[in-house]
Amino acid sequence: EDQVTQSPEALRLQEGESSSLNCSYTVSGLRGLFWYRQDPGKGPEFLFTLYSAGEEKEKERLKATLTKKESFLHITAPKPEDSATYLCAVQASGFNKFYFGSGTKLNVKP
Amino acid sequence: DTEVTQTPKHLVMGMTNKKSLKCEQHMGHRAMYWYKQKAKKPPELMFVYSYEKLSINESVPSRFSPECPNSSLLNLHLHALQPEDSALYLCASSQGIQGDQPQHFGDGTRLSIL
């Protein structure tokens, strides 16, 4: 059964305290893994796409990595404006096989 | 600013009303989506249009009726909704339906059913 699991559910960091969010997946034939950021009352904002194990993408303080079983979103020296819910989504082979994880709510305190 | 525009931003309606949500994108994307999102939950897929044809209907009640007048526009017609339909309704678009390209989301319509 296809499954996408994110952990932790919530994460509180001090400004400057680096950490990682996890997205574990079990799907048949990964077509793509996507990271989104969602602020309260807004739609998800696209961050990264990863297609194959070993791939890495970076944007400012964020770096996404991918293995055959999971993806990490590393946040280096976070700032309060990085506070948001981070969603992972996976596209598997086959029609209508797009799955969101339940998200990680990140709170960065000054 | 998002490249997918949704109107209205907020909507309050009674259970007997008829209203429509609108979504517009000008990125040349050929796949468009409707999602429903409840508080503290991820988005749930409702409908997918590919090249203006309905491709996926995720067993959504008939009180929700989608329409894709052209490649840039997507509507969601609402009729006789229930209080449990109160949620954030998100529209998204992508280059294709094969799924290896990201979906880009609008900021949603916050719907409240009285």
Specify the higher pLDDT residue, A76 or B16.
A76
CA end-to-end span of chain B? 31
Interface test with A, best of B105, B109, B110, B111 (most A CBs within 10 A): B105
pLDDT score for A29: 87
pLDDT score for B90: 98
Confidence of residue B6 (pLDDT cuts 50, 70, 90): very high
Cα gap A21→A11, rounded to integer Å: 9
- Report yes or no: A22 and A7 within 8 Å, Cβ to Cβ: yes
Cα gap A105→A82, rounded to integer Å: 10
User: Residue A87: is its pLDDT beyond 70?
Assistant: yes
Please report the sign of the dihedral spanned by the C-alpha atoms of residue A37, residue B12, residue B77, residue B46. Answer: positive
DSSP A40-109: TTS--EEEEEE-STT-EEEETTEEEEE-SSEEEEEE-S--GGG-EEEEEEEEESSTT-EEE---EEEEEE
CA angle B112, B21, B36 (to 5 degrees): 60
Specify the higher pLDDT residue, B96 or B24.
B24
A32 touching B (Cβ < 8 Å): yes
CA A31 to chain CA centroid, Å, is 16
Cα gap B26→A94, rounded to integer Å: 27
Cα gap B99→B81, rounded to integer Å: 31
User: Residue A46: is its pLDDT beyond 90?
Assistant: yes
Amino acid identity of residue B3, one-letter, is: E
Q: Which of A25, A38, A67, A37 lies closest to A50 in space, CA to CA?
A: A67
Residues of B in contact with A52 (CB under 8 A): none
Condensed to tens digits (0 to 9), the pLDDT of residues B8-59 reads 999 999 988 899 999 999 999 999 999 999 999 999 999 999 889 988 777 8
B40: left (phi over 0), alpha (psi -120 to 50) or beta: left
User: Residue B61: is its pLDDT beyond 70?
Assistant: yes
Cα gap A14→A91, rounded to integer Å: 33
Residues 52-81 of A with CB under 8 A from B: none
- Report yes or no: A43 and A33 within 8 Å, Cβ to Cβ: no
Residues of B in contact with A87 (CB under 8 A): 42
Question: What is the percentage of chain A residues whose pLDDT exceeds 90?
Answer: 86
Confidence of residue B2 (pLDDT cuts 50, 70, 90): low
pLDDT score for A11: 98
